[in-house]
Amino acid sequence: MLFLWLYMFYSCAGSCAGLATRGSPAPPRAAPPLVPGEESSLEEQRAAPDAASPISSFFNGSGTKRLPQAIIIGVKKGGTRALLEFLRVHPDVRAVGAEPHFFDRNYERGLAWYRDLMPRTLEGQITMEKTPSYFVTKEAPARISSMSKGTKLIVVVRDPVTRAISDYTQTLSKKPDIPTFESLTFKNRTTGLIDTSWSAIQIGIYAKHLENWLLYFPIGQILFVSGERLISDPAGELGRVQDFLGLKRIITDKHFYFNKTKGFPCLKKAEGSSKPHCLGKTKGRTHPDIDQEVVQRLRDFYRPFNMKFYQMTGQDFGWD
């Protein structure tokens, strides 16, 4: 059947072209409309090897590669992977699986390279990606704004103390010989001075990082998702995300079940599958026991930053 279709296509190509030349001249080809989020990259659109002929569309799937209209920009160990996997269940969301790290590590490769990483989307579908390190990258807000000032941004935040311990746990699984969490937390444990140069601590100062983003994006263009509520009420948080993205609320309670072993919700059916799906073994690791005095010192340290973050976002996340 495939060969018959190809034969008919090529047979028609020659004869149809002949008919066109014998008739009235074909009207000039209209320039393709600008895709939202690509206003600043028209030259890359023209240069990119993505023009879809009938044959390429047949073999590669229909749709167009577009720059993302929405990006999950943070934070590390906040629940970004879970959010992305949950969102991919929605038929109008197409997302890159791996983290592109374009706006922090690969910016010199250019927007054409970045767009080529994106999945093909149809009219009405949203292209997304997630790279949690964007939130703490000083250059990222200006770079994303340069791509498109209309980009919608999503930040998944979590109790900064729990987040720091989770961050340390991940590093410990890869480097078992690293110093203890307690020794890394302080510049001087005797004086109790917190070492804010340690990334595990620094990432959790959310208010400081958000100030940088608000220089380029209005607060209403950024959605703050609670990592805790993403576990306790995934459908509720996904409802807020779908509303923010302008999507119909398709992802609901019926899509989730709670995995008691892992301690977080899983999908009854993942994207493109009829089987249940939980995040991999790297998620839900058991945290090491941390000296409670150190935990309390960290809570005291983060409290003023948390209060400021609540004021900036208009949300009380209940961390204390």
Q: Is residue 228 part of a domain?
A: yes
Is 24 domain-assigned?
Answer: no
- Told to judge if 65 belongs to the known catalytic residues of this protein, a careful annotator would answer no
Beta bridge partner(s), residue 231: none
Q: Is 287 annotated as a binding residue?
A: yes
pLDDT tens profile 28-49: 333 333 333 333 332 333 333 3
- The domain containing residue 129 runs over which residues? 64-163+202-285
Q: pLDDT at residue 16 above 70?
A: no
In this prediction, residue 127 carries a pLDDT of 98
Would 278 be classed as within a structural domain?
yes
Please tell me the pTM assigned to this model: 0.78
Is there a binding annotation on residue 81? yes
Mean pLDDT (the chain, rounded): 83
Rounded-to-integer distance, Cα 276 and Cα 262, Å? 14
Which of 77, 248, 262, 281 is the catalytic position? 77
Identify the CATH number of the domain in which residue 98 sits: 3.40.50.300
Indicate whether 194 belongs to any domain.
Answer: no
Dihedral of CA atoms 60, 63, 67, 68 in degrees, nearest 10, equals -110
* Domain-located, residue 303: no
Which of 232 and 11 is assigned the larger pLDDT?
232
Q: Is 270 contained in some domain?
A: yes
DSSP H or E run through 120: strand 120-121
Q: Is residue 213 part of a domain?
A: yes
Q: Nearest Cα to 285, choosing from 199, 201, 172? A: 172
Domain count along the chain:
1
Peptide bond just before 136 cis, omega within 30 deg: no
Q: Is 245's pLDDT higher than 70?
A: yes
Which strand (E) or helix (H) includes residue 45? helix 42-47
48 belongs to a structural domain? no
Residue 105 in marked binding region = no
C-alpha to C-alpha distance for 95 and 72, rounded to whole angstroms: 10
